[in-house]
Structure 1
């Protein structure tokens, strides 16, 4: 139910979303989302724990993008708990990004796959990986491109929601106060939703 009947007439049941929701052309929606993800770089990856009903989140650095930017790649240790989580529950995955300064944010849900292909690993290899993996001193597990522990998480986006801030910190604060005084909700974000069908359409033309 998106509306509710009140003494003043039919009103949106979620006034904030109703006031801020926008639906620009698909190209603009995708390009703004991809630009924001690229600028943010770091996101919180949420998975379902392999042996539990609970969720957990981890900070991940974006390693690459595919299909016009909508499918995201991250490095992983193939023997880590997050790899086990994703192998057990590949379709229960979300990655979220936040810019605390602007207030913009993005949430992408999808299906994850673990890639151990050496060509893919070498393509997206980062020289910062040894700092996270360590060197075990055996000449093999050294964090280099041939380290057998290195894998890639590929998150295929199925649905996305994000918000582009229309105001800076000061502008948001002022509008929040004035809206509260008026009994209204602030309208300082542009909330966009990208459906599974729209993502598939984008893949068809950007693969």
Structure 2
């Protein structure tokens, strides 16, 4: 019988953790407010994130680029415009679990896990509508499907955050490169950015608070 190779148990490398990057860079001193504010600022600066869904026919994961339209519930709900006649809408109806990830040109990133729902509230759509959406939807020439805020194809995907993690340094490209080079020369995990995590408990508590603006 062929032997099965077991993964090494974390913490079995003497006094060193196997994941030196995560172990070296946790940011445990920030308040929930600071973590939320930093996450929101980063997402809004990036604007575009990758939304991951599960294909209904194959079970495989698929991602596509989405532009952040707005946030709600103290920043814990994310809104993205969508054409409601798309595969991703069908996929989210079948399995609402999703992940949204953002990354910038220096490798800073954010990852949001949550559940999604499709919203067709016309007042909410009008509130966040931008004229550039018309070019994306197109005008079918029937006087109704014209790419406007009244186009029945236009909806919003609301992602309700469950947990989040991000790695943001604010050092810029040259500062990041310097830290990477220093880490490579010393053999130690480089402190490029601090790892910040938001637990489900923290997210739920913040969602119901009045301490942050959406």
Q: TM-score range by the shorter chain?
A: over 0.9
How far does the alpha carbon of each residue in 1:149-190 deviate from its partner, in whole angstroms, 9 at most, with x for none?
A: 011100000010101125332232232222222221101201
The alignment yields a C-alpha RMSD, in angstroms, of 1.5
Question: SS of 1:191's equivalent?
Answer: strand
Could you say which residue in structure 2 is the equivalent of 1:14? 19
Match of 2:172 among 153, 168, 174: 168
| More strand per residue | 1
Q: Distance in 2 between matches of 1:149 and 1:19?
A: 47
Runs of 4 or more, structure 1, over 3 Å off, are none
Give the Å deviation of 1:138: 0.4
Instruction: Calculate the TM-score normalised by the size of structure 2.
Output: 0.89
Q: Which runs of 5+ in 1 are unaligned?
A: none
Could you say which residue in structure 2 is the equivalent of 1:94? 99
Give the Å deviation of 1:49: 1.1
**Counterparts of 1:127-146 in structure 2 under 5 Å?**
127-146=131-150
Question: 2:181 aligned with 1:177, yes or no?
Answer: yes
Question: SS of 2:195's equivalent?
Answer: strand
Q: Residues 143 and 19 from structure 1, CA distance in 2 versus in 1: closer, same or farther, beyond 3 angstroms?
A: same
Instruction: Calculate the TM-score normalised by the size of structure 1.
Output: 0.92
How far does the alpha carbon of each residue in 1:103-150 deviate from its partner, in whole angstroms, 9 at most, with x for none?
A: 321000100000112222222222111101100000000011111101
How far does the alpha carbon of each residue in 1:12-44 deviate from its partner, in whole angstroms, 9 at most, with x for none?
A: 121111111112111101110011111111111
Question: SS of 2:147's equivalent?
Answer: coil
